[in-house]
Structure 1
């Protein structure tokens, strides 16, 4: 790639880049990175870990802004942001950051709503994309990242069951939550009009949440693994008759135009994310905390009622109840004297309640629950997100 075609920067947050590989024949060029706090000179083959909000391309003292550079041949393109390679479940290479910058894993590609949630939780973090939810869990366990931010429920689409199962499979701790309003945007290549669209790509949930808007367009809907991935495909393949439903940030990253914003059927579309870490945080009582647990119960009349009563007796508010069949033991066989044996699903119960584990009432409630629970695990006690 010739330097004139280099599309760089516009970073709103610091990111880690592995290496710039510029053409050897252009070795006289370099990058000067500037911010209010520091300036660093690097060579064309140099390795650097932090970038600032501004940069200049220079050659023998003649500087030219990298923002808005034209390709060698073709029309001007929107400024694009260099993208990191997503981690996979088999990825054990790399090393975590031991500096002050927090590395946070999320599922998807840059521009995903999960990335926005990570940046909301840690504005100066390095957001690390992962191909799958499980890859994000493993990235934390293997010390490739410091934390992971993953969706757990949506006000329209409901619970993300895969992540409930992974919470039990992995030994990570919930250390926080993020609640974020979803703004679905219709993205297209620059200059494309609505009348040109024949199909729209996005995640199945995003497509279903924009049913009315897509119905008016009369387009074919095509499922993609994630919303930002749909924007990435359109930008890479340069398809003019295809749009994507994704975030406004995805439009900025992939150089796309926003034809319409907030096209979801329900404008109050909220997704709740969990922040996961290797170690729990110390619960406190000076602010509102939430505690998440998972447990199993013996089969019998009123057992679930008794389990929930331990919280009601202590004026503890339950904010979430989710049940999942146990994978290793999906069926429970119960003797019935009249008709032989009956088979029931054996369930795990996930509960969120408003109390800190530093409070005596929460400790007493879980102690009471242990009297008839066959299994109990605290997934985390963490501050509630009180801001949208």
Structure 2
């Protein structure tokens, strides 16, 4: 699974770049509640800790806790990796942010549970594969596209979806690496590419955009919408 965005800290840009560069299909999405724990080698107390290592997203999600305790955030490649590295190479005054399960797996002590700043903290993951998944009752589709550098170009592309009543759930811009100050757009919308209206909208997008890559149509995780309705 690939973490793609967090409800508080935003998108994981490296993940979007990976989707553009690799020949992978989105097989599904999973939305999980994030519960962070502060982990340290056995015998460490909270008063001993001076520095905390984790993925930048996790550090951002726990920024308030770190500030209140005067702890220095240090970026690492990922949360579980930070816990594993700390277990294999313990350093005085250093802790990691990861799940309590990671602490259990690597033999670290949980100094504090639930240190994320907000309880409504969710991370969305893409399940990746090399083939298209079976069609489900509720689907989403993800595409990436680029437009002409001209007035109204993006508006015209998005209009293909608006005029057919297709709900866009996300749009994200990223720089085009081979063209400074030009951008590509990642778009998620409700529906399957084989739905008649979705198919027509994608044909319109192909006609108007200068580049289109289909990332996949996949079963939607309905959990976040349900949580939001209950909030």
The two structures have a TM-score, normalised by structure 2, of 0.88
Q: How does 1:64-75 map to 2 (within 5 A)?
A: none
Give structure 2 stretches of 5+ with no counterpart: 225-231
Matches within 5 A, 1:302-341: 302-328=152-178, 330-331=179-180
Give the CA deviation at 1:155: 1.6
How far has the Cα of 1:282 moved from its partner? 4.0
Deviation at 1:199, TM superposition (A): 2.4
Task: Describe the SS at the equivalent of 1:276.
Answer: strand
The whole-number CA distance in structure 2 between the counterparts of 1:187 and 1:376 is: 43
| Partner residue, 2:191 | 355
Structure 1 position 226, deviation (Å): 1.9
1:164 aligned onto 2:16: yes
Q: Which of 95, 113, 116 pairs up with 1:243?
A: 95
Shift of 1:244: 1.5
Distance in 2, Cα, partners of 1:190 & 1:364: 59
Matched residue SS, 1:180:
strand
Q: Answer 1 or 2: higher relative contact order, Cα 8 Å, separation at least 6.
A: 2
1:376 aligns with 2:212: yes
> Could you give the per-residue CA deviations for residues 28-76 of structure 1, whole angstroms, max 9, x where no partner exists?
xxxxxxxxxxxxxxxxxxxxxxxxxxxxxxxxxxxxxxxxxxxxxxxxx
Deviation at 1:375, TM superposition (A): 2.0
Q: CA deviation at 1:302?
A: 1.5
Counterpart of 1:5 in structure 2 is: none
Residue ranges of structure 1 left out of the alignment (5+ in a row): 1-148, 332-344
2:48 aligns with one of 172, 185, 196: 196
Residues 207-356 of structure 1 aligned to structure 2 (within 5 Å): 207-284=59-136, 287-328=137-178, 330-331=179-180, 345-356=181-192
Measured in 2, the distance between the counterparts of 1:198 and 1:192 equals 11
Contact 1:283 1:358 in 2 (8 A): no
Larger Rg: 1
Q: Any conservation in 1 of the 2:193–2:202 contact (CA below 8 Å)?
A: no
Describe the SS at the equivalent of 2:207: coil
1:111-163 deviations in Å (ceiling 9; x for gaps): xxxxxxxxxxxxxxxxxxxxxxxxxxxxxxxxxxxxxx111111222112222
* TM-score (norm: length of structure 1): 0.54
What is the total number of aligned residue pairs between the two structures? 224
**Distance in 2, Cα, partners of 1:224 & 1:368:** 42
- SS of 1:370's equivalent? helix
Relative to 1, partners in 2 of residues 1:241 and 1:377: Cα closer, same or farther, differing over 3 Å?
Answer: closer
Secondary structure at the counterpart of residue 32 of structure 2 = strand
In structure 2, what is the Cα distance between the partners aligned to 1:295 and 1:215? Answer: 39
Answer yes or no: is the 8 Å Cα contact 2:49–2:95 preserved in 1.
yes
- Give the match for residue 228 of structure 2: none
Q: C-alpha offsets along residues 318-372 of structure 1, whole Å, 9 cap, x if unaligned?
A: 00101222222x14xxxxxxxxxxxxx2221211000112211111111222222
Q: CA RMSD in A?
A: 1.9
- Measured after TM superposition, the shift of residue 193 of structure 1 is 2.2
**SS in structure 2 opposite 1:315?**
coil
Equivalent residues of 2:53, 2:76 under 8 A apart: yes
